[in-house]
Structures are given as structure tokens and as C-alpha cells.
Amino acid sequence: MSQAQRILLVEDNKDVLNLVSYQLSTAGFTVISAKDGREGLDKALQEQPDLVLTDLMLPTLNGYEICAFLKQHVRHKTIPVIIWSATKIQPKDETLAKECGADGFLLKTVDPDKLVEQIRLLLRRT
């Protein structure tokens, strides 16, 4: 039996963190969680997850900063990063996400099945 792929979920809203962790676990992923940007970056560096799903607006470091740091380092640059936001996505947000190297940019209102589908698609590419 193969080992479950590991998703690092960086989210400062406890309810969202719990709900999405449950959804991802139910879909067969192992979830590593972090409640702020610094903890998320530390866990990404230590745990080497298969994918990072990070909130945009976080205490200490934002999602763009986490993504940019990971994408600038050889050991971590191949980890797919999805940034997601609770606020309406503006064209400048998508541009900033692309500039920092994000592999996806989603609204938090995305259907859970579509989120899992997006994650699986990115994991197949790596």
C-alpha cells in the first residue's frame, strides 16, 4: 500500500482549518497544519510536504511570502503551492501569485470536490 500524499494546510481560521483538514483527510491525504505564516514556512522546510495550500492573508508571513521563499530554494521549488483567499480575487492578486511562483490561486468558496481535483491535478504533474 502506498503512503498518502502529504498536504501542508496553512490557515489562521480554526474553523476553516478543521473543515478543510477533514475534507482533505477524507479524500485520502495526510494533512499537516499550521496556523500562521511563520509556522507554515517552518513546517514546509521541515516536513517537505507534497503540496502546500496556504491562505493569502496570514499573521507573520502571507501566502505570497511563503510561496516565494519556497520557490527560490532548490530543495523546495518543486513543491506545488496553491494560494487561496476569502476575498474576491482581483487581477492584481493573480498576477502577484504568478510572480511569486504559485501553481494555483483559488477562492476559499471553491467546491470541496474541485479543491481536491485541483490538488490531485497538481500532484500528478510533479
Q: Is residue 1 part of a domain?
A: no
Give me the number of domains the chain comprises: 1
20-59: per-residue pLDDT in tens? Answer: 999 999 999 999 999 999 999 999 999 999 999 999 999 9
The residue segments making up the domain with residue 20 are 6-125
Beta-bridge mates of residue 54:
10, 83
CATH classification at residue 42: 3.40.50.2300
From CA 101, how far away is CA 78, in angstroms rounded?
Answer: 10
State the DSSP string of 15-37.
Answer: HHHHHHHHHHHHTT-EEEEESSH
**Rounded mean pLDDT of 95-114?**
92
pTM (2 d.p.): 0.94
